[in-house]
Amino acid sequence: MVNRARNTILSKILSIIIAAIIIGAIVALIHTLTAPPVDKFTEFYILGIEGKAVGYPKQLKVGEEARLILGISNQEQKAISYSVDIKIDGVMTGGLGPIALEHGEKFEQVVTFMPDKPGDEQKVEFLLYKLGESEVYESIHLWVSVQQEEP
């Protein structure tokens, strides 16, 4: 009789444990399915030389060096290495990299570009790549008008 009572108690305890495990698994599954996804992204931006989103170079002379601040902030949830190409009207004029950033780390640096021909509305592009990838990951551009240097 003692064995039978002991088996019944053990059986009830095991049933409770199994029920708790099943309920825990269901709660974990529901949480996994309903939890919002973690956003993975890179902030890529340019600022005027004063560190604000104004004051970009707009009017330049041929051979005049323009300056601005280029920024990258890694929110990719892992370490990433980047590179940046700078182009004027599709022609490579400079670049940066590799720039290795841990998750949450930010990079800002003054960059320069110098147009070598006159023309209105020349497109200055800043192209961000993840190192080892050939596709542009992010891009920013601005338009500058370039005047011929007066003799």
Considering the domain architecture, whether residues 4 and 57 belong to the same structural domain is answered as no
Considering the domain architecture, whether residues 67 and 31 belong to the same structural domain is answered as no
pTM given for the model: 0.74
What CATH number has the domain bearing residue 77? 2.60.40.10
Q: Domain total for the chain? A: 2
Q: How far is it, in rounded angstroms, from Cα 125 to Cα 108? A: 17
Where are the extended beta strands (E) located within the chain? 41-47, 59-61, 66-75, 80-88, 91-101, 106-113, 119-130, 138-147
Considering the domain architecture, whether residues 108 and 123 belong to the same structural domain is answered as yes
- pLDDT average, residue stretch 36-55: 88
**Residues 56-115: tens digit of each pLDDT:** 999 999 989 999 999 999 999 899 999 999 999 999 999 998 999 999 999 999 999 999
Considering the domain architecture, whether residues 92 and 120 belong to the same structural domain is answered as yes
The pair of three-digit structure tokens given for residue 2, joined into one six-digit string: 């003692």
Calculate the CA 150 to chain-centre distance.
42
